[in-house]
Structure 1
Amino acid sequence: MRNNIIHMYPKDDIPVEVFDWFIRIEDGALSPEDIDELKAWIAENPERAIYFPDLDNLWAAFGETDFQPISNTNKHKTFSWWSTRKAIGIAAAVVITVVSALTFLPVDTDTKIRTFETATGERHIATLSDGSSLHMNAQTKVIVDYSENERKIVLQQGEAYFSVAKNPARPFIVRSGDLSVRALGTVFNVEHITGQKSTVTLVEGAIQVAQLEEDEIRSTAVLNQTGNKAILIENSASQAASDNDSGITLMQVNIENAISWRDGKLIFSGEPLSQAIYKLNMHSTHKVILQDTSIGQEPIYGVFSLGDWESAVRAMVKIYPLKAIQESPGRTVLVARKDRSSN
């Protein structure tokens, strides 16, 4: 296994494509065609080269010795590996390379109620009896209840990615808290955080989402474009009733980021630090606790591998005014440093 390398860069306006290139470069699987693609992307905006301080070595490895995308006036903006790591106070992108366990379950041929469940650090893929597939993230519990007239799924907790086989006579319905998702043949991702919220992100096709109150539909919305996302905060029905408005919030997200867990990584582009820690804890039995909640809403930008809490903690204590205290073999607490100034 390669040594984990932490790459730190300024967090303002980091293009999402940068994260993808980090992964491709770290994997060491670039082809000459990939190099041409990277050159063309940087040539569109030479400022992008500041995120790749080892470009000279990369070009040389492919015999590209004459490609100079950065003008002399902008060279002072380029970061070396070591100067970049010193600039941690304004940085927040991480690339590490560990993947959590992924297993394939036998095809489900049972028409009775079935329960699928994953533990911390596990991901499962199951093929259901109708040909639909279910990809479960860690700490997820799903109940499958198929009948002649409908295909009902209950996401009790966690996150799951559904690829639905088309069958207009048997609609595919996913229940997540007070959120209901109805599909005929499509691909979407659903997440349920017990006591907090349910979200659904459309990958392909179209779905109808509904807010339920005591099993009665209160409001609905249709997602029909890739990257459409619906969010429902739990127990929002009473608030929505007082406001005479829907409790469903709609937004557009980067689909690759939203489902990156399927590829063994988590991509963040401005989400709260507390959310990143929650996601990391799903994939490790070693728990990271953020004691200083005032920093929990600070944005984080980066690519994390699933399960590698140690590299993530090392990065966080350099990026933010935090220090790590390992209270036990399975628990690390992040507390505020007395000197809260950046490194």
Structure 2
Amino acid sequence: MMTIPSPSTLRGLAPDEAAAAWLVRIDAGPLGPGDQDEFNAWRAESAANAAAFAKAEAAWKLFDGAPGDPALDALRASALAAGKEPRRGLWAGIGVGIAASLLAAVALGTDYLPFGQKADAPQLAARSAPAADATPKAPDSGEFATARGERRTVRLADGSAITLNTDSAIRVGYVADRRLVRLLRGQALFEVAKDPHRPFVVQAGAKQVTALGTIFEVRLLDSDRMKVTLVEGKVVVDEGEDRPADDASVMVPAVLGPGEALLVSDGARPVKFKADIDQQLRWREGFVEFNDVTLAEAIAEMNRYSGKQLVIDDPATGNLRVSGVFRTGSPERFAAIVGELLPVRQRPLPDGGVELRAGR
């Protein structure tokens, strides 16, 4: 088994190599006073050293949090082969070589995220810049969007983060007394930085969601329906500024607690219900989960993530029920699995789509 690098072995290493070695050393256990002083001095020595260590920490999180991604699976296999240690001891057993390999994976881009995800963050954008001072300022206004099958995280000036799901768009416009975001289409997860003096307001259709510091998701289901799901904190859902002037119905403000969701439809009474948060947020990992839904409903959801569309040849087939967790963006794989679960067969279409029809 490789030994844990000591500070004396790090002199003369490039910043990325030294950062990987320091991470191995720190992961093995608390630094002694002398080592801690040397680490602090090394990190403060240059902006390059500080940036390299931040990248090393990002590599650790990426390595540990992306099961199923081929590039990281290969690195994980190499690490496990180098030393059989408990989770926290893994880096202690793999030495500088494997640590550098993990950094190499992130050198593809610290903005490398599995399943086509993007990230708009100051520390990520700085990856390609030669100088520490090149970090761009995080925005507090602008429009951001994703294509079909894409995800993107936007980090804002106040520290809030917005993750857009497939085919989604937002418009951000912070003002002095409010942090305003309009969900133009699709679905987004909002991780709101606390600011008791400036509420965070998401406008979606004719309704709005107001928070101070919390985590919640908003999805525009169609032109007159939206769903709000609260992960953490508290939000209020009520009428927005864009309510038509001739609309006599006024929604009674609804307060959501963690684990609750609210379905709001124009002209109907809002429906509040308990939500399975893990199931709801699987899209962030590139998956969707179905629990006894019709095949037609499952296909409608899968079609959000790919230009290659799934179609059904008759209503009876669409009424079959399906459950399971499926990777997004792969209609052929979905059709193949459904063909094993249900009495349906698949037929490729000239446009690249897949038709599901009754029969084996």
Given candidates 243, 263, 280, the residue that maps to 1:231 is: 263
Give the match for residue 148 of structure 2: 120
Give the match for residue 161 of structure 1: 189
Whether 2:308 is the aligned partner of 1:293: answer no
Mark the CA change 1:297 to 1:219 in structure 2 (over 3 Å): closer, same or farther: farther
| Structure 2 residue identity aligned to 1:223 | L
Give the match for residue 138 of structure 2: 109
Deviation at 1:221, TM superposition (A): 1.0
Given candidates 296, 315, 321, the residue that maps to 1:274 is: 296
Q: Give TM-score scaled by structure 2 length.
A: 0.60
Deviation at 1:179, TM superposition (A): 3.0
* 1:251-266 superposed matches below 5 A: 251-266=273-288
Whether 2:115 is the aligned partner of 1:100: answer yes
Deviation at 1:136, TM superposition (A): 0.8
Give the match for residue 340 of structure 1: none
Deviation at 1:111, TM superposition (A): 4.0
* 1:280-319 superposed matches below 5 A: 280-319=302-341
- 1:1-35 Cα deviation digits (max 9, x unpaired): xxxxxxxxxxxxxxxxxxxxxx89xx89999999x
| Structure 2 residue identity aligned to 1:207 | V
Hey, what's the Cα distance between the residues in 2 that align with 1:305 and 1:257?
13
Hey, what's the Cα distance between the residues in 2 that align with 1:179 and 1:259?
22
Give the match for residue 148 of structure 1: 176
| Structure 2 residue identity aligned to 1:222 | V
Hey, what's the Cα distance between the residues in 2 that align with 1:133 and 1:279?
25
Deviation at 1:124, TM superposition (A): 0.4
Mark the CA change 1:222 to 1:285 in structure 2 (over 3 Å): closer, same or farther: same
Deviation at 1:297, TM superposition (A): 4.5
Gaps of 5+ in 2: 1-66, 88-113, 123-136
- 1:35-89 Cα deviation digits (max 9, x unpaired): xxxxxxxxxxxxxxxxxxxxxxxxxxxxxxxxxxxxxxxxxxxxxxxxxxxxxxx
Deviation at 1:279, TM superposition (A): 2.5
Whether 2:246 is the aligned partner of 1:218: answer no
Asked whether the equivalents of residues 344 and 358 of structure 2 are also in contact (C-alpha less than 8 Å), the reply is yes
Give the match for residue 236 of structure 2: 208
Mark the CA change 1:295 to 1:179 in structure 2 (over 3 Å): closer, same or farther: farther
Asked whether the equivalents of residues 237 and 253 of structure 2 are also in contact (C-alpha less than 8 Å), the reply is yes
Asked whether the equivalents of residues 287 and 332 of structure 1 are also in contact (C-alpha less than 8 Å), the reply is yes
Deviation at 1:272, TM superposition (A): 3.2
- Of stretches 273-282 and 258-267 in structure 1, the one that deviates more from structure 2 is 273-282
Give SS of 1:154's match.
strand
| Structure 1 residue identity aligned to 2:340 | K
Mark the CA change 1:253 to 1:111 in structure 2 (over 3 Å): closer, same or farther: closer
Identity of aligned residues (%): 29
- 1:302-326 Cα deviation digits (max 9, x unpaired): 1111222211001223333333222
Hey, what's the Cα distance between the residues in 1 that align with 2:356 and 2:232?
39
Asked whether the equivalents of residues 193 and 213 of structure 2 are also in contact (C-alpha less than 8 Å), the reply is yes
| Structure 2 residue identity aligned to 1:109 | A
Higher strand residue share: 1
Given candidates 200, 206, 209, the residue that maps to 1:172 is: 200
Higher helix residue share: 2
Mark the CA change 1:116 to 1:318 in structure 2 (over 3 Å): closer, same or farther: same
Asked whether the equivalents of residues 205 and 224 of structure 2 are also in contact (C-alpha less than 8 Å), the reply is no
Mark the CA change 1:220 to 1:32 in structure 2 (over 3 Å): closer, same or farther: farther
**RMSD of aligned alpha carbons:** 2.9
Hey, what's the Cα distance between the residues in 1 that align with 2:211 and 2:313?
41
| Structure 2 residue identity aligned to 1:221 | A
Hey, what's the Cα distance between the residues in 2 that align with 1:223 and 1:299?
31
Aligned residue pairs, count: 240
Hey, what's the Cα distance between the residues in 1 that align with 2:216 and 2:281?
9
- 1:133-179 Cα deviation digits (max 9, x unpaired): 01111111111111111111111111111000111221111122233
Mark the CA change 1:189 to 1:271 in structure 2 (over 3 Å): closer, same or farther: farther
Structure with larger Rg: 2
- 1:235-288 Cα deviation digits (max 9, x unpaired): x32xx3xxxxxx211111211000011122112222332332223222222111
Asked whether the equivalents of residues 273 and 298 of structure 1 are also in contact (C-alpha less than 8 Å), the reply is yes
Hey, what's the Cα distance between the residues in 2 that align with 1:221 and 1:263?
30
Which 4+ stretches in 1 moved above 4 angstroms?
27-34
Hey, what's the Cα distance between the residues in 2 that align with 1:173 and 1:255?
21
| Structure 2 residue identity aligned to 1:299 | R
Hey, what's the Cα distance between the residues in 2 that align with 1:151 and 1:199?
21
Q: Give TM-score scaled by structure 1 length.
A: 0.63
